[in-house]
Amino acid sequence: MLYAGRKWWKRAFFAYWLRHILPPEWLIKRSFSKTMGYSLNLADPQTFNEKIQWLKLYYHDPAYIKMVDKAEAKEYISSKIGTGHVIPTLKIYESVDEIDLKEPPDKFVLKCTHDSGSIVICKDKSHFDLEEVRKNFRVNLQGNYYYDDFEWPYKAVKPRVIAEPYLVDESHAGLKDYKVFCFGGEPKIIKVDFNQFASHQTNVYDTKWNFLEMEIVYPYDKENVIEKPASLEEMLEYARKLSAGMPFVRTDFYCVNGKIYVGEITFYPTGGCGKITPVEWDYRLGSWIRLPEKRIG
């Protein structure tokens, strides 16, 4: 039985009630210590994850709301680096019942505009289970990162489903996701995820493409040599433009046949609870975030 001794809906209601009644600081501190293994110091944060929590709670720039919306962010991206680096939008669905197979091409991607990870890849419409996809998106559209991890910009984002073209890189097996960590508008490290649907691994590089022996949530594989992208300098310049004036932001890029596309913009990787090892790197990345003197919101 799910949730032995108590019906699942009672447990869900209790969790919902707690997040609406108890102070966010208390709940974040409780969750942080359980996940990270050390107490969260909001008065004098030092590590990367501590400072991400501080930014979640005390730095609420209204511009962030559009930037975390996968549909609305395209306008911001276009204004900074041009429309040619925006993944085209095929269709935006206000509800799952609007999703059909008439309009998209044979290969396409569906994902929610208000979260990260709820993605469906269609490589052949003749083998696409539309009803199952609708069922899953009905659940995804009910989620909200504000009530999950207090990532405040998501509270105001309207949940929708967006359809985009299916893109592949030179491997013809998908896309490498280049996640550029920017501190005060300056790129410092690039995280590359691979084997995401098998044994998820992550390699991290500096801006000169030197391998860094560090783990961000997932283990690295030093033997898996990821070639330096030919357009790395261009990518880093775009990251600077997209992150200018922000204490921290992660800008994600894809390279497709030599062309750079922006995947998404993220302010709170893993909700600020992504373990970084060795721990010295958690402190080093933290030292690169200069927290604003003034709180917003």
| Segment 60-81, tens digit of pLDDT | 999 999 999 999 999 999 999 9
Q: What is the pTM of this model?
A: 0.89
User: Band of the pLDDT at 39, cuts 50, 70, 90?
Assistant: very high
Query: For 207-223, what is the mean pLDDT?
Result: 93
User: Which residues touch 272 (CB under 8 Å, ≥6 apart)?
Assistant: 32, 49, 50, 52, 53, 56, 149
Query: For 277-281, what is the mean pLDDT?
Result: 96
Say how many C-beta atoms besides its own lie within 10 A of residue 277's C-beta. Answer: 14
pLDDT score at 103: 84
pLDDT at 252 over 90: yes
Q: d(Cα 85, Cα 78) in Å, to the nearest integer?
A: 7
pLDDT at 16 over 70: no
**What is the overall mean pLDDT for the chain?**
89
pLDDT at 198 over 80: no
Q: d(Cα 173, Cα 220) in Å, to the nearest integer?
A: 20
Q: d(Cα 276, Cα 151) in Å, to the nearest integer?
A: 20
pLDDT at 96 over 70: yes
pLDDT at 17 over 80: no
Q: d(Cα 209, Cα 156) in Å, to the nearest integer?
A: 37
Q: d(Cα 73, Cα 60) in Å, to the nearest integer?
A: 17
